[in-house]
Amino acid sequence: MDGPTPIFPTDAPPPSGGPLGSSAQEGSPRKGLRGLLLRALRGRRLGDLVFVNLTRSAAVVVVGLVVGIVASLMISGKPAFEAIGSGFLGPEWLPGGQPPRYGALPLVWGTLVTAGLALLLGVPVAFGIAIVLSELAPPVVRTPLSIVIELLAAIPSVVYGLWGIFILAPFLRDSVYPGLQATWGWTGLFGGAASGYSVLTAAILLAIMIIPTVSAISREVLRAVPVAQREAALALGATPWEVVRMAVLPYGRSGLFGASVLGLARAIGETMAVTMVIGNRNAFFSSLLQPANTIPSVLANEVFEASGTHLSALFALGIILFLVALTINIFAQLLLLRLRRRGAHA
């Protein structure tokens, strides 16, 4: 016998209102949801594509700017290197002499000593501020004090320079430097006539200027230390100072070192404030109370009056300043990597 007669003939389509027909229709809810999901995925992929390309473009632009600046400095400074030769490493910078002399070593010496002194004076104060704000100060005082300290970073360099000329330099000359000469003059570091406009004055002013940057970064580093570190030390009977010394500072030492490097970079590149208080003497110095000069100060003072070989020598000074900053950054990165490895093995 033949099988049962099918409800729907095999050569006839199912009714349009049935479940199979509704899923095959173009305007069905299932296919509409699928299209919506596909459109959403396409939009997400487009957004990801735009984001990736924008970030890559930004990275390429930054690298291109650095390469372009270095290339332009080298092209502009090449005539000075060819004309001066080894004399560019001489002990005297005297563009108006007969013959002109373009020895950059006194300027490099002044730049390094001024920035190094600023780091020695400013970083301990900045670390102390960061420790107080993150560990010791009550919440009522913490926020207002943080705002006041960070406001120092908003003061323009020229304002710092004016304050240094009319307030800081006379105060140091009349009240501080005589005592230093009487007590430590035998060392030779504080000898000579103290006019107030000197290497030490510039270093003190730079130290004040880097404190907001170093303290702000250091405070965030200390805040990132896990609470479990502090609680473990307190559970063992540690005092607040012992908690900071044994639990907090070792955990955040790599970040604190990075904050110090940023402060050093800020000190090396500072121009206006240093120019206004350092005395602008293009020669070597043995006493911190003597006037001196730095590479940024020389560039600011002489660039608008220079021409020919003198102008090319200023571009060459820019190359030297870039190399000094690059060397310090590379050295700092190596030390930071060593600190991280030591912390990982501890």
Q: What is the residue type of 204? A: I
Cα 323 to Cα 153: distance, rounded to the nearest angstrom: 26
Q: What is the residue type of 264? A: L
Q: What is the CA radius of gyration of the chain?
A: 33
Cα 329 to Cα 265: distance, rounded to the nearest angstrom: 8
Any bridge partners for residue 293, and if so which? none
Across residues 173-196, what is the average pLDDT?
90
Query: In this structure, what token pair is assigned to residue 115?
Result: 């920035």
Cα 39 to Cα 27: distance, rounded to the nearest angstrom: 16
- Residue 31: per-residue pLDDT: 60
CA atoms within 13 A on the CB side of 93: 26
- Residue 40: per-residue pLDDT: 57
Indicate whether 194 pLDDT > 90. no
Q: What is the residue type of 220? A: E
Across residues 62-68, what is the average pLDDT?
93
- Residue 338: per-residue pLDDT: 79
pLDDT band at 345 (very low <50, low <70, confident <90, very high): low
Across residues 143-147, what is the average pLDDT?
88
Distance of CA 221 to the CA centre of its chain: 15
| Residue 44 lies inside a defined structural domain of this protein | no
Any bridge partners for residue 102, and if so which? 93
Query: In this structure, what token pair is assigned to residue 82?
Result: 């060819």
Query: In this structure, what token pair is assigned to residue 141?
Result: 């005082």
Indicate whether 311 pLDDT > 50. yes
| Residue 12 lies inside a defined structural domain of this protein | no
| Residue 59 lies inside a defined structural domain of this protein | no
- Residue 72: per-residue pLDDT: 93
Q: Which of 170, 128, 166, 164 is nearest to 149 (CA)?
A: 128
Domain count within the chain = 1
> 179 φ, ψ to 5°?
-65, -40
User: What percent of the chain stands above pLDDT 90?
Assistant: 50
Query: What CATH code is carried by the domain that includes residue 184?
Result: 1.10.3720.10
Indicate whether 288 pLDDT > 50. yes
336 vs 165, residue with greater confidence: 165
Q: Which of 203, 178, 204, 175 is nearest to 191 (CA)?
A: 178
User: What percent of the chain stands above pLDDT 70?
Assistant: 86
24 vs 103, residue with greater confidence: 103
- Residue 39: per-residue pLDDT: 61
Query: In this structure, what token pair is assigned to residue 185?
Result: 């003059």
| Residue 225 lies inside a defined structural domain of this protein | yes
Whether residue 291 has a cis bond before it, omega within 30° of 0: no
Cα 147 to Cα 72: distance, rounded to the nearest angstrom: 40
On whether the CB atoms of residues 164 and 209 are closer than 8 A, the answer is: no
Helix intervals (H) in the chain? 19-24, 29-84, 105-131, 139-151, 157-163, 169-171, 177-184, 199-223, 227-235, 240-243, 249-251, 253-269, 272-277, 295-302, 309-345
Neighbours of 128 (CB within 10 A): 14
Indicate whether 142 pLDDT > 70. yes
| Residue 51 lies inside a defined structural domain of this protein | no
Across residues 284-292, what is the average pLDDT?
93
On whether the CB atoms of residues 279 and 291 are closer than 8 A, the answer is: yes
Question: To the nearest whole number, what is the mean pLDDT of the chain?
Answer: 85
Across residues 264-279, what is the average pLDDT?
93
pTM greater than 0.85: no
pLDDT band at 44 (very low <50, low <70, confident <90, very high): low
DSSP 292: B
Query: In this structure, what token pair is assigned to residue 191?
Result: 């000898």
Indicate whether 164 pLDDT > 60. yes
Sign of the CA dihedral with 327 first, then 329, 335, and 340 last: negative
| Residue 168 lies inside a defined structural domain of this protein | yes
Domain coverage including residue 314? 83-345
Indicate whether 73 pLDDT > 60. yes
Across residues 67-73, what is the average pLDDT?
92
| Residue 41 lies inside a defined structural domain of this protein | no
DSSP calls for 223-244: HTS-HHHHHHHHHTT--HHHHI
* Beta carbons within 8 Å of 81's beta carbon, 6+ residues apart: 88, 316
Indicate whether 19 pLDDT > 50. no
- Residue 191: per-residue pLDDT: 85
| Residue 70 lies inside a defined structural domain of this protein | no
- Residue 111: per-residue pLDDT: 95
- Residue 343: per-residue pLDDT: 63
Cα 205 to Cα 267: distance, rounded to the nearest angstrom: 10
Question: How far apart, in Å, do the first and last CA atoms of the chain sit?
Answer: 88
- Residue 322: per-residue pLDDT: 92
pLDDT band at 106 (very low <50, low <70, confident <90, very high): very high
pLDDT band at 63 (very low <50, low <70, confident <90, very high): very high
